[in-house]
Chain A
Amino acid sequence: MDRSDEGARQASGRRARGELESDVLATLWAARGPLTARETQERLPGDLAYTTVMTILSRLHDKGMVVRHREGRGYAYEPTRDEASHTAQRMHSLLEGGSDREAVLARFVSELSAQDEHLLQQLLSGHGEPPAESERSPRNR
């Protein structure tokens, strides 16, 4: 335990960098098409410096996680998709199996019943939930 904690502390600088890479990668994957560094920066939450975003993009490019092509004076970036579908199959086999699977892998959201779905839609639209009245704001940001 102690040793791994120490390791985590040592790696905290690197981990922050890793987290930024994830954020940028997630943004590129969510986009409909290639994004320039400026566009990526605009979509990232928080105020990251343009140069930071550039650095991360070029590092991802070096790792082969994104491809880039010329657009105007700069580059537009797009995630590489070669392995994504292959990985998906493996991930599904990892997620299969009985209740002991859940002990190791908790999914972000569990499955919904029809009633749950209705309830969620009500919550999302702020129906009958006073705290949810002003909740549209995050979307408009």
Chain B
Amino acid sequence: MLVSVYVPFLVTAALAALVPPIARRLPPRPAAWALVCVALVTAVGWTGSLALLAFTGVAQIPQIAKEGHWSVAVLRAEDPVYLAVAAGSALALATGIVSLGVAAVRQIRRLVRARQECADLPGRTELAVVDDVPLAFAPPGAPGRIVVSRGMLRCLDDDGRAALLAHERAHLAGRHHLFQGFWRLAAALNPLLRPLAAAGGFVLERWADEEAAACVGDRRVVAHAVARAALASAATSRPPALAATGGAVPQRVKALLSPPPARRRLPFAAGGLLLVLCCASLANAASDNDRMLDNAQWAQCALYADTARSWPADREVRPGLHCVDHDRREHGERHL
């Protein structure tokens, strides 16, 4: 309990720092699924560890100890967690859960709105063209639509247009909004996972780019379409300030102009190992916690047994029954 409960935090921090830069270089489809696994396991590990730490604090509140029939004194003696740590964990857990709820509500609203707009778009075709500054996106719906502006279509050549449509179709067919939504929910629960969600967004674009390249049959065509579209959009609107470290679009174009990323096993194996470590430590911490609680309950039962003689029989009924149950369980375990 002393060490293992903190391991999921360490694993989460390590993965949050290491995974995003590596994921950007891997083949995008397995990278996206790997990011889903990382987000899922670290979110569970993070929440579980916080809950265990918070519980050790909550369990020492006398009223709760009475309800659960365990001895506060024994728990306090065995418990290696500072009360401040437990309180901090409870706070972090509550904040995470509230922000998860808020994020979930917002995302559902967005999805409903996008779905509605998809249905309301003019025409009964997959493609809806709007008269406007260059823009292209694919709102998910049933069915999803592709919205492209006339300016965007005009800035691309014939192959480039095919690449653009194939890219947006890949987003819709792969249900990429579900991936993105999942990562964002994980990041809402645990802010450490925010870089992971950002990397996920990039990986999804790369995934769609590679699908488009497979569809068009030439990766350079897609590279040019992406570059041209971005330049056309930049001519009309420029964000006031953006990181000057080389944004997503140049990275995508570079990746498409280079040979396809090689399949590698080592990063996946290493990440998988860390995730297994995270799960194992959480399980270990949970079982330690359970044993600690058992001991505290046992001590409480012993206390009841000692004081039973001086107590009126009827007042001892409930704790007595509980202790018998506890006893039986203990013996059963020993016989097994």
Residues of A that sit less than 8 Å from B by CB: 15, 18-19, 21-23, 25-27, 29-30, 43-46, 60, 63-65, 79, 81-85, 87-88, 90-92, 94-95, 97, 99-117, 119-121, 123-124, 129, 131-132, 135, 137-139, 141
Contact = CB atoms under 8 A, between A and B. Distances in A.
B127 A25 contact: yes
B153 A138 contact: no
Interface in B219-262: 220-221, 223-224, 226-231, 233-234, 237-239, 242-244, 246-250, 253-254, 257-259
For the complex of A and B, the 4 pairs showing the least CB-CB separation, nearest first, are: A22-B127, A108-B136, A88-B130, A109-B230
A123 B125 contact: no
Given A45-B162, A63-B124, A123 B227 contact: yes
Contact of B227 (A27, A105, A120, A137): A120
24 contacts: A19-B165, A25-B129, A26-B127, A65-B123, A79-B129, A83-B123, A87-B122, A91-B130, A95-B137, A100-B103, A104-B107, A105-B139, A106-B171, A106-B205, A108-B135, A111-B242, A112-B247, A117-B234, A120-B249, A123-B254, A124-B228, A132-B220, A132-B223, A138-B159
B249 A103 contact: no
Interface residues of B, number: 86
B239 A113 contact: yes
A67 B226 CA distance: 30
Contacts of B130: 84-85, 87-88, 91
A113 B237 CA distance: 10
